Structure 1
Amino acid sequence: MLKSRLITALILIPLVIAALFWLPPVGFAITTLVICMLAAWEWGQLAGFSSRSQRIWLALACGFLLALMLFTLPAYQRALHLPQVEASLWAAVIWWLLALALVLFYPSSARWWRESRVLRLVFGILTIVPFFWGMLTLRQFGYETNHYTGAWWLLYVMFLVWAADSGAYLFGRLFGKHKLAPRVSPGKTWEGFFGGLLTCALISWLFGVAAPLTVAPLTLLICSLVAALASVLGDLTESMFKREAGIKDSGNLIPGHGGILDRIDSLTAAVPVFACLLLLVFRTL
């Protein structure tokens, strides 16, 4: 299991970095759209759709919705302040605040959405659509002056999430005693949580020194800490939905890692929240 996880990671990480820096805007948008369709396919299980055909239609509907949003926006790569894009990013902030309440009060919070497929589908839309637009808006950040500025920002957020996950695992294994959310994810501890934040702070400092991220240090720190916290929430929220669905992994598309949602659950929260803070709250343009 560990061997397959390491081999898959060693293959995927270079591919992800190459896609960030080498794909043109249209290619990056299509790649992200396909990832979102696969995530929608897996969300079908969490929403209570056991039929393969239903989940295929759900994935196609997600792809159609995102493609329609792209084609109805003029010059989408510079469309940050168009209502549809802004609304998606703000919706992410509202949704993840609601998700925080769902996680904190689980399992009693599940009583009002457990039996509703419609609500669970809405939760999926609020997870996947803002993630899509967060990815695209960050990738297009500063594109007119430097084609790679946005790629650095996205790589930075991904490194933050990976650092939070790895730091939490390491510190949790070494020092973990106090459960973070035992009813949702029994393996997570407060020691791991703070260890992940510490690792994120280190990554933030290293990127600030080595990468061309021209943002005020305090702004970067606030955005980074909130994104790190959101990444933990994204992981816990998916764990909550998987627990309700009675499944361990969202899928089996990635050997040793489960499904697409299992790999991007933290990013679905961290990316749009970070983009909203950086581009809409602090107006770092």
Structure 2
Amino acid sequence: MLKQRIITAIWLIPLVLGAIFWLPTEYFSWALIPVFLIAAKEWGQIIDKRCQITQWSFTVTIGVLLVALNIFVPADELWFKGHLHPVYLSVILIGAMWWAISFLLVLSFPKSSAMWQKSHMFKSMFGQLTLIPCFAALIALKGLSSEAAPYYGGTLVFLVMIVVWATDSGAYFAGKALGKHKLMPNVSPAKTIEGLLGGLATSMIVVFGIMTASPEQELGLVVVVTLFVALVSAVGDLSESMFKRVADIKDSGTILPGHGGILDRIDSLTAALPVFTLIYIAFWM
């Protein structure tokens, strides 16, 4: 399994980095749609893993919404005088509110599942709230690139990814080596408190990198934001685990050998990206 994960990462990471740094935002926004359609198809299994019609119906719905977003708010019109287009800002705000609700659903699981586990409507709505704000946040951050700073937006997207990857990796290895106390056994039996703390500690490597590259940043703010984004990413991971547990699904897909599906790889990012985007707008714009 570890060998497969490494092989997949070797070809996947350069592809991702090439897209976020060198693909113009207007092309990036369209290139993302097939990726999110695969994630939507995987979420369709959470809605009803036995019904292909339901899965494809949800996928088409996500596709139509993302295409509409790209058409009605072109990537080159996202930002004007330091302000994000109100449609995108609204979508990202709704996404952040969803993650606050999702956190409560995770905390109260399995009692909370009585409300939604048999409802296609609720699970479809949860999928839209998970995927669409993540897409909007990705495009919004990427759109901060300019002729004067062509890699700035890509750097912000990469920064969030690095925080998530560092947190996930630290949690995995700390959990393997030190994990004794279950974090939320009803949601994800493999996750431990020690793993979470290890992940948060590992995220501080990102803080060191930021302060080394950009020492003018306020250290306290960078530490708080990094820790908060790392915690939010853990909520995204736990949320998907909760939905997969109810649907009796181990991996969302098999498209990425050793990693599962697209949804398995972006679950933490679906929460971290909208929240980071709002924090960035509030403190750095």
> Which residue of 1 is the match for residue 132 of structure 2?
129
Residues 1:220 and 2:222 aligned together: yes
- Contact between 1:44 and 1:50, CA under 8 Å: does it hold in 2? no
> Which residue of 2 is the match for residue 202 of structure 1?
205
> Separation in 2 of the partners of 1:262 and 1:198?
23
> Which residue of 1 is the match for residue 150 of structure 2?
147
- Within 5 Å, give how 1:1-285 maps onto structure 2: 1-48=1-48, 50-73=50-73, 75-78=76-79, 81-143=84-146, 145-210=148-213, 215-279=217-281, 281-282=282-283, 284-285=284-285
Structure 1 unaligned residues grouped into runs of 5+: none
User: Which stretches of structure 1, 4 residues or longer, exceed 4 Å deviation after superposition?
Assistant: 212-215
- Alignment: residue pair count: 282
> Separation in 2 of the partners of 1:139 and 1:215?
21
Helix, strand or coil for the counterpart of 1:108?
coil
Residue identity matched to 1:8: T
Structure 1 residues 66 and 195, CA gap change in structure 2 (3 angstroms): same
Cα deviation, residue 142, structure 1: 4.4
Instruction: Please give the TM-score of this superposition, normalised by the length of structure 2.
Output: 0.94
**Superposed CA RMSD:** 1.7
Q: Structure 1, residues 11-32: CA drift from partner, whole Å, max 9, x if none?
A: 1111111111111112211122
Cα deviation, residue 94, structure 1: 0.9
- Contact between 1:223 and 1:278, CA under 8 Å: does it hold in 2? no
- Contact between 2:233 and 2:269, CA under 8 Å: does it hold in 1? yes
Structure 1 residues 117 and 104, CA gap change in structure 2 (3 angstroms): same
Residue identity matched to 2:40: A
> Separation in 1 of the partners of 2:98 and 2:278?
13
- Contact between 2:47 and 2:54, CA under 8 Å: does it hold in 1? no
- Contact between 1:106 and 1:183, CA under 8 Å: does it hold in 2? yes
- Contact between 1:153 and 1:213, CA under 8 Å: does it hold in 2? no
Sequence identity percentage: 41
Cα deviation, residue 49, structure 1: 5.2
Cα deviation, residue 146, structure 1: 0.8
Q: Structure 1, residues 164-219: CA drift from partner, whole Å, max 9, x if none?
A: 00000111111111111111011111111011001001122113313x69753333
Residue identity matched to 2:18: A
Instruction: Please give the TM-score of this superposition, normalised by the length of structure 1.
Output: 0.94
Residue identity matched to 1:224: T
Residue identity matched to 2:250: K
> Separation in 2 of the partners of 1:59 and 1:202?
37
- Contact between 2:78 and 2:84, CA under 8 Å: does it hold in 1? no
Structure 1 residues 32 and 223, CA gap change in structure 2 (3 angstroms): farther
> Separation in 1 of the partners of 2:77 and 2:219?
29
Residue identity matched to 2:117: R
